[in-house]
Amino acid sequence: MRHREDMAGQDGVTSDEDLMLQAAQGDMDAFEQLVQRHQRAALNIAHRFLGRSAQAEDIAQEAFLKILAGASRYRPTARFRTYLYNVIWHLCVDAYRRRSPVALDALAPLQDAAEGPDELVLRRERAERVRQGVDELPPRQRMALVLKHFEGMSYQDIAEVMDCSPSAVDALLSRARAALRKALQDLL
Amino acid sequence: MDCKTTSRRLGAYLDGELPHAGAAAVEEHLRQCPRCTAELAELRALSHALNGLEGAAAPSGFAARVKQAALARQEVRRQPVMLYGAPRARAMNRVLMRVAACLVAVAGLWVGMSAGGSAFAGNGQASSDATQAAEQNEFDLQMASLSAAPPGSIAEAYLAFASYDETGGQGQ
């Protein structure tokens, strides 16, 4: 087994892929480090896709556990981030199919000392409208939008996560934006 | 480049996904088309509105909890198959019990057939004699119970017929 110090790059930081290889050999500290690096993105993707923070936490945890369970088969041919997001995407689709019609979480942060009550209410209403608009998008359009807008991923990377072509991602984003422009016309 | 083509490429232009020549062509069209320029502004406004979709902050101790959950799963996998244990172990036990029940049934059938077969083969004549004697006893009992049949009744006629059958027509 190679030690973490041996695997560190020139900047002294061990790459995700090397941490993954260590985790595959049973190094649970390497696994925990991977989780720490990607937990925020994992939670945010699931939360923005589903609109439910409790479910997002379950999905993020399950994604990391699935990755560890399959770590022995992992080959660093693709970036770890793409691999992780692909697992999250599939878990989100499963959750979307099983979803129950519960109220969505409040979306925008409401604590802002500079805002008065009216601005707060307006901003909250606006955020809820946007949330509803996104929630009504078909799952593939929604995930493409989340990965592009919030994770800043390229079409190529999104395509790898969603198992499709970059031109398909372009089409998904075009349709998502067209639908949102129509739904939120009075807000834009 | 016309409006239709430009409109189709505005999203990719905004995302920085167009090659240099493609982006230059879009910009060239935008300089002379207020409608496409307005559409680009609307896409930018939409992008701004989407910023209202807040994400979820990672709860404290999340990574440690995931690690603990992973260790717990690994521990479950290491445990041996136990009766009334994990679902997989219970399913395996059910299969084993069914197989055992089938084996017992087949063994019982085989033992029964072996024993029955030897009894028929060894005592065939004795069994036949015993059966005939039992049938005769049963007939005699029936006759005895009908011996007091009233005169002129059907029972009396039956007794007469039976008696004729026994003696071969030599009288009672």
Q: Is B68 a domain residue?
A: no
Which pLDDT value is given to residue A46?
94
* Domain extent at residue B138: 124-172
pLDDT of residue B147: 56
Note the pTM of the prediction, 2 decimals: 0.67
- Count of structural domains within chain B: 3
**Chain A CB contacts of B8 below 8 Å:** 174
Rounded CA gap, B49 and A176, in Å? 14
ipTM confidence score? 0.81
**B66 near A CB under 8 A:** yes
pLDDT at position A107 is 45
pLDDT at A168: 97
Q: Which residues 157-176 in chain A show a CB within 8 A of chain B?
A: 166, 170, 173-174
Which residues of chain A lie closer than 8 angstroms to B57, CB-CB?
A: 40, 43
Tell whether B47 and B2 lie within a shared domain. Answer: yes
pLDDT at B107 (0 to 100): 87
B115 and B133, same domain (yes or no): no
Q: Are residues B24 and B43 in the same domain?
A: yes
Specify if B59 maps to a domain: no
pLDDT value for A103: 47
Q: What is the 3-state secondary structure (H, E, C) of chain A?
A: CCCHHHHECCCCCECHHHHHHHHHCCCHHHHHHHHHHHHHHHHHHHHHHHCCHHHHHHHHHHHHHHHHHCHHHCCCCCCHHHHHHHHHHHHHHHHHHCCCCCCCCCCCCCCCCCCCHHHHHHHHHHHHHHHHHHHCCCHHHHHHHHHHHCCCCCHHHHHHHCCCCHHHHHHHHHHHHHHHHHHCHHHC
Give dist(CA B31, CA B171) in Å, integer.
138
Give pLDDT < 70 ranges for chain A. Answer: 1-11, 100-115
Together in a domain, B128 and B172? yes
Say yes or no: B109 and B132 in one domain: no
What per-residue confidence (pLDDT) applies to A48?
92
How confident is the prediction along chain B (172 residues), in pLDDT tens digits per residue?
Answer: 899 999 999 999 999 999 999 999 999 999 999 999 999 999 999 999 998 777 778 888 999 999 999 999 887 777 655 545 555 666 777 888 888 888 988 888 888 887 765 555 545 555 567 777 777 777 666 666 555 666 666 666 666 666 665 555 444 4
pLDDT of residue B172: 42
CA distance A11 to chain B (A): 24
pLDDT score of A137: 95
CB pairs under 8 A between A and B: 105
Q: What is the dihedral of CA A130, A136, A141, A147, to 10 degrees?
A: 40
